[in-house]
Amino acid sequence: MSKAVQAAALLAEVRETGVALTGFPAELVPEDRSEIYALQDALIAALGPVGGWKIAAGSEAVPLCSPLLEGGYLVSGDRLSIADNRLTVVEVEVGFRFKSALPPRSNPYDRDEVLAAIEGALTAIEMVGIRFAPGVEVPRAVQMGDLQVNAAVVTGAVVADWEGLDLGTLKVRADIGAAHYEVDTGTSTEAVIDALVWLANEGALRQGGLKAGEVVITGARINQPVGDAGDLVVASIEGLGEVRLMLA
């Protein structure tokens, strides 16, 4: 059994049972990006299929990405248990739903081809979950291999006419229970599109490329503590609408 498969088995068990890990074998910690991706792929093999991708657009020249589980995608108005999913953080992100597949091919997709494959943009809530007990120090490489600590993605309605929006200056709001957060800065439209083109041509190849119906989230605009059971999370992005999640 490979290092990645052994590590994935530990993390997959937590996702399935909710019983937190109290440590992680040092010999199973990924040592570089290729091992991080091998761990992600092993988790998908154990728990898949893929429903979309997570990418930190604009964070670095070659961004870190992760496939996300189809079963982790929810729609606005759904409920999600904090305890069962070991939720820690709420993030608000710009997402994109693809209407056409972009399978691997010998010549790279250009910007126009990637844009033509997009159905539209949307407001998304990402729920972050940690597979470890409180107080346990978790190597960043393990967190990145654990599908970048994704627990769920809640999607709003798709906005087809999004290309005229300046994604870097949109007002983004989140209410988590009684707490209110608001920002009006973020990754530029150009950087987001560049990241999507890179994902189509490189990042997603290991899972057979981008597929029709998949949703890609592009990095946190708001990142805040999860709140309490019974709280309603309401997130909105100017021009892209609102999305809601009830915490249980």
pLDDT at position 58 is 84
User: Is residue 12 within 8 Å of residue 123, measured between CB atoms?
Assistant: no
CA angle centred on 118, ends 185 and 43, rounded to 5°: 85
pLDDT at position 14 is 95
**Per-residue pLDDT reduced to its tens digit, 39-70:** 999 999 999 999 999 999 988 878 999 999 99
Q: Give me the DSSP letters along 152-181.
A: EEEE---BS--TTS-GGG--EEEEETTEEE
SS3 track for 189-218: HHHHHHHHHHHHHHHCHHHCCECCCCEEEE
**Has residue 221 got a pLDDT over 90?**
yes
Q: Which domains does the chain have, with CATH numbers?
A: 3-247 (3.90.850.10)
* Residues in Cβ contact with 172 at an 8 Å cutoff, skipping those fewer than 6 apart: 92, 182, 183, 184, 186, 221, 222, 235, 236, 237, 238
Whole-angstrom distance, CA of residue 199 vs CA of residue 216:
9
Q: 74 phi and psi, to 5 degrees?
A: -120, 170
Question: Per-residue pLDDT averaged across 20-47, rounded?
Answer: 98
Q: Which of these, 140, 124, 23, lies nearest to 72 by C-alpha position?
A: 124
> Is residue 232 helix, strand or coil?
strand
pLDDT at position 47 is 98
Task: Quickly count: other Cβ atoms within 10 Å of residue 18's Cβ.
Answer: 14
User: Hey, what's the torsion of the CAs at 194, 196, 202, 206, to 10 degrees?
Assistant: 160
pLDDT at position 62 is 86
* Residues in Cβ contact with 176 at an 8 Å cutoff, skipping those fewer than 6 apart: 90, 224, 225, 226, 227, 231, 233
Question: Per-residue pLDDT averaged across 113-117, rounded?
Answer: 99
Whole-angstrom distance, CA of residue 39 vs CA of residue 42:
5
Classify residue 46 as exposed, middle or buried by CB count within 10 Å of its CB (0-12, 13-18, 19+). middle
Whole-angstrom distance, CA of residue 125 vs CA of residue 228:
16
Query: Looking at the chain, how many residues does it have?
Result: 248
**Per-residue pLDDT reduced to its tens digit, 133-166:** 999 999 999 999 999 999 999 999 999 999 999 9
pLDDT at position 218 is 98
Mean pLDDT of all residues belonging to the chain: 97
Q: What value does the CA radius of gyration of the chain take, rounded to a whole number of Å?
A: 17
Place of tokens 């091992």: 35
**Per-residue pLDDT reduced to its tens digit, 162-220:** 999 999 999 999 999 999 999 999 999 999 999 999 999 999 999 999 999 999 999 99
pLDDT at position 197 is 98
pLDDT at position 189 is 97
Report the Cα 214 to chain-centroid distance in Å: 12
Q: What percent of the chain has pLDDT over 90?
A: 98
**Per-residue pLDDT reduced to its tens digit, 75-93:** 999 999 999 999 999 999 9
